[in-house]
Each structure stands twice: as C-alpha cells, then as structure tokens.
Structure 1
Amino acid sequence: MKRLCVGVILFLGVQWLSAQQPTVPANAVEEMHNWNERLLEAAQVPGGNSSQIPRDYKIGPEDLIEVSVFEVPELSRAVRVSAGGAVSLPLIGAVPVVGLSPLEVEKKLTELLRQSYIKDPQVTVFLKEFRSDPVSIVGAVKMPGLYYIQTEKSLIEVLAMAQGFSDGPTRLPGQEILITHKARTGQPPVEASLATADSLSSETSAVAADEKTDWAEVVEVPIKKLLESGDPKWNVPIYPGDVVRVVQAGTYYVAGDVNHPGGFPLTDFEHVTTLQALAIAGGTKRSAKMGEALIIRRDASGNRIETKVDLKKIERGQAEDLDIGANDILFVPGSVTKQAVLRAVEATIQVATGVLIWR
C-alpha cells in the first residue's frame, strides 16, 4: 500500500512537472544580461580572423561579383548573379556561373572573350557580396533566423546580429555552440567532421581516401571559452550557408516536499549537485523525509532508473553529493504524520496567539 501511494505521488508529480515552464532564478537572468553585454561589446572589436573569401566557395544566385578586364574598362563592372544562375556581360551575353569558384569564372570569361573580340584578355573576378546562402542562427538566441553576410564574419559578430543569447525561461543557452559549415563536394578530412575549435579530433567514422562525397564539418565551441578565455581561436569564422546553433540548456526538476517545486535550467554551463538543486528550489519543508529522496532519470535506452539519496548524510558530508543532469527529477517525499503534527502545532500557536491578543 505504501509503495502504491508513493507511486501515485510520483506519477502525479511528474505529470505536474511536465506542464511547468522552467523557473529562471534572478541571478541567472542577470548572468545572461552580463554575457550579452560582453558579447555585444566584443562584436565591436575586430576579431582574430581576417575577412577573406573561402578558396573553395562556389558562386550562387544573388551573389555580387566584380569583373575587371585589363585595359578594357567598358567590360569592367559589378554584376549580380541572376536567379537563373547567370551574369550578363557585353560581347558575350549571359554566362552561367553558379557552382563555379571565382577562379573558374575568370578562366571561363577569359576563354569566351578570346573567342570574341579580344586577343589576349586578362580577366579578374572578385566576389563582393555573398547573398546566395544566408547564415542560419538557431537555438538559444534572442532573434533566431536567417542572416545575410557579405563576407566572412566571426562567430561573435554573427551572435551579435541575433541580439545575443536568449534570457527567457524556455531557451537559455547550454554549454556549447555547434557550427555546421556548408556541405561541399570533394575530399573530406581523413576522419570525421565533429571537432572542437582547438582540436580536430574526429567523432565519426573514417572516409575512404579515394571517396568523393558531399561533406559538412561540424565545429563545437564552448560558450565559456568563447567569452571568457580571450583566445581568438574560439572566435571561429562563419561563412554563408553555415548553420550556427546555440544549444539550449537542459532542465532538471525538483518535486515533492520542497518549498518551490518546479523545473530549473542548468544555467551555470557546468553541473548542478543534489544540494545545489535543493537550495535553488527553496530547500525542504519541515515534513520532508530527508533520508528517502530519489533521483529519477532515464538511461540511453529510455529505461527508468531510480537512485535513493540520503540528503541528511549528504549535508553531513557522509555521502556523495550526486550531480543532477538534464531531465533528471529530484523527488523528496513528505511524511503524512509529520504534516499532521505540524498542522496541529501551527493551529495551537494561532489559537494561543489569538488568546494573548484578546487579553
């Protein structure tokens, strides 16, 4: 019967928690404001990456290219690539350029002009604006969406375009930012494409040396190192077509006989221990059964795991203060007997207080 009651309480508690929005502590909101100020301030300072066109960038619709023909100013001009993927130039008409690099366009225009009226044309093509592939900024930012950049930008500059990190209750940033560089056709790195900015170690399977395929590199940047280390290597370059995802903070839950039950975000970018989670939830009530708390979580296969936690022993330093992870539930049961006694004591105090006031 006792287990049935506990099971019912846990079920109702989990159902209630699932309907709750995470509660954001005031210090977490203030921390986000500080981080955004630091981010926007850093965006005003030139980054550690020089602005240059990627060597293998392929021209796309709406890009703006500058065509210069030596000693033929009539043919030199800036032209926008049409939606159909071509540019129109005097003498040679419409020329398809989508999917070609600036160097490949130079060679193509040189050959076409040689076939027309110019004996030995010297053509230079410079990419002035990227417009074909906007940067996608998603996740825990204030203004997620598509942003057009004309040249390479730094990660901090791109985050500033999205007005920095979100400080709302449902989209606080987590520990890292994931940058997916646009897929390119060609030879991928010898091994995978998930790396940190300071280590290109692979986390995916190796690719055969002679295999030609579409591949995309994914780079992981820790938020703390980006904004606190001062090392420019974390301020990685962002190119048109890239996807920047600020991973959202996970949420843990505290339920049962605590003063402020609910969901709480993992806002410190590190970890939260059992006692820290309890403190954030306002501590336990006097009727709480401190020695019978539970941490409820799911393993990688989705199986439910319950770990008994003796909060009294943890407070005394006699037991390990376990970490609370994303989607974990810390449940502190209450004693029905204790609650009845406390209510009786409180009622007695109120009556006694009323008598004293009457007298």
Structure 2
Amino acid sequence: MKLILSVLLASLVCLWRADTLLAKDYRVGPGDVLSVSVYDNDDLATKVRVSSAGTIVMPLLGQLEVKDLTINEITEKITRMLSDGYLVNPQVNVFVEEFRSKKVVVLGSVKTPGLVELNGPTNFLELLSKSGGLDKDAGDTATLQRQGTGEAKEVIVIDLRALIDRGDLTQNLQINDGDSVFISKSGMCYITGEVKEPGTYPCGEGATVLKLVALAKGFTGKASKSSINIVRLVDNKKTVLDDVDLSATLTNNDVVVVPESFF
C-alpha cells in the first residue's frame, strides 16, 4: 500500500468521526451509564449503569432488559411500557452518559499491534488510527472475527483498497467489544477457524488450501473439512468460494475459513 494511505486515513477518520459519535447503531451493554428523562415527570428521571446481566432499573417500571439494544430501541421500549396504563403520550429521552470500555485485538501489518481499549462507538478506520496506522507491507484485506450465534465465530473480510483508496464506506464497519482484527501482509494468505495455528502464511506460486492448512499445523478435531470457504478479491469485489477442495489453488491475500463441524 502506498504512503499516501496514511494521509487518506487521517482525513477519512475526521470525516466520519462525527457520524460515529451520533451512535445511531451503538448497542448498549454492561457498564454503560444511561440517562433517562420523561418530559414533565421529573420523578421518573434516572441515571443508571447497565448491570452485568444487561438490565437497568427504572422508577415505576422496575427492571428492564436493554443489552444489545440501540438508544432508539430503548427509548421506544420505555415509551411503550409507560404508555401501557401509566402515562398518556410520554415524551422519553435516553442517551449514553458514559460508554463502557471495549477491548479489541489488532494483529498483523499495523504499526502497534496488540490489545486496544476503546471508549464509545468506534469504526474500523478509527481502530486503525489507534493502532498507529497500516505498515508499509500491508496487503489489501483485513479479517475481522467476532462472536456469532452460539459458539460460532463470524468472519468478515474488509477490502482495504476499496475503503481507503476509493472511500467505500460500506467497508468501514463498527467495531464490537471482543472483536479481533488481522491486517494481511502483501503476498500472504490468511487462514482462520478450526486449524491449530490460525494466522498469515506465505502464499507463493502453487499454494493450495492443503499446504496452507499444513503451515497452520493441521486441522483441529472440530474442523469441517468439507465446508472450507475461500474469500477472495476479484476485480476489487469480494467473492466467496464455498465448499472448496483441499487441492484448490490460492492467490495472494486469500482468506481461508475452516468452519466448525456440528456433527
């Protein structure tokens, strides 16, 4: 990636920081402090920290589940509950007074890899900035891994070239607590999921899925060997190759995902 990326990165962070701080998509969680007020009902005003169970306690209403809800969703929930036999057309206002700390791991081709602590809504570019920016040997993709449904991990591939060179905002994802991000190196492939040593490995001529698995010290006992996917950039667009064979040939910056078998 070119040196100009650092300048573009700084500019993009400034452009989108205001939108981020609006926190439209921010999901409330344990440790956040919420301020709740109801117009013309000062006795219902409260400032409360979300419990470890994801709940708050409000006057009149008692305990409410708010974990993973947006501010708009919490406002609608409180409004609906107050309208149910308590108040006529209540005007509810909710905002986050104090954001909890989020912990994210950033590895690969950034200047200061490691654990990053974040406060408040944070997007991918802001996370890169807090990690010192991209190294000069950074590749074209970043792999974001986060908790999915149940024990499954969700793997998202971010097209760095589309985001930074072309300003594609769809790649500037919101970062969640517990996410891990790996920035690829040029001329390398990344493997994640059910292998013994996930990570980035050389991806030269003749590289195959089997060879990459071997470099990653083999499959774990939970690997679904028949459901391996390759995420690849083709004409600057992400393409997912499903259920590939172990003999499938790899190209630079491919991301190989080995899912867990549930049988």
Q: What TM-score do the two structures reach when normalised by structure 2?
A: 0.54
Corresponding residue for residue 56 of structure 2: 87
What are the within-5 Å matches in structure 2 for residues 142-181 of structure 1? 142-153=112-123, 155-166=124-135, 172-180=137-145
Give secondary structure in 1 for the equivalent of 2:128. Answer: helix
Equivalent pair of 2:101/2:120 in contact (CA under 8 Å): no
2:38·2:90 contact (CA, 8 Å) conserved in 1? yes
- Of residues 239-248 and 214-223 in structure 1, the stretch that sits farther from structure 2 once superposed is 214-223
Q: Over the residues paired in the alignment, what is the CA RMSD in angstroms?
A: 4.4
Q: Give the Cα–Cα distance (whole angstroms) in 2 for the partners of residues 234 and 121 of structure 1.
A: 36
The structure whose residues are more often strand, as a share, is: 2
Structural mapping, 1:227-306, within 5 Å:
227=164, 229-233=165-169, 236-241=172-177, 242-250=179-187, 298-302=207-211
- Output the CA distance in 1 between the equivalents of 2:89 and 2:160: 52
Q: Is the 8 A contact 2:29 2:68 kept in 1?
A: yes
Aligned runs of 1:80-159 on 2, under 5 Å? 80-110=49-79, 112-113=81-82, 118=87, 120-127=89-96, 130-131=99-100, 134-141=103-110, 142-153=112-123, 155-159=124-128
C-alpha distance 41-103 of structure 1, shift in aligned 2 (>3 A)? closer
Helix, strand or coil for the counterpart of 2:134? coil
Identity in percent = 23
How big is the shift at 1:60? 1.7
- Any idea what SS the aligned residue of 1:66 has? strand
Instruction: Write out per-residue CA displacement over residues 69-93 of structure 1, whole angstroms, 9 at most, x where no aligned residue.
Output: 1212343344321223222333444
The total of aligned residue pairs comes to 199
Q: Which has the higher helix share?
A: 1
Do residues 69 (structure 1) and 28 (structure 2) align?
Answer: no
Partner of 2:7: 38
**CA-CA distance at 1:221 after TM superposition:** 1.2
- Going from structure 1 to structure 2, the CA distance change for 1:104 and 1:49 (only over 3 Å counts) comes to closer
- Deviations 1:129-188 (Å, cap 9, x if unpaired)? 5537544433222132233241243x3222011112346xxxx42232234576479xxx
Q: 2:129, 2:148 → 1: CA distance?
A: 24
AA partner of residue 245 (structure 1): F
Q: 1:56-109 CA deviation, whole Å, 9 max, x = no partner?
A: x64321123332212123433443212232223334444332244444433443
Residues 140, 108 of structure 1: alpha-carbon distance in 2 compared, 3 angstrom cutoff: same
Q: 1:72 to 1:80 in 2, by over 3 A?
A: same
Name the structure 2 match of 1:221.
Answer: 159
The structure number with the bigger radius of gyration is 1
Aligned mates of 2:143, 2:183 — CA distance in 1: 6
CA distance in 2, matches of 1:44, 1:220: 16
The secondary structure found in structure 1 opposite 2:30 is coil
TM-score, normalisation: structure 1: 0.42
2:19 to 46, 50, 58: 50
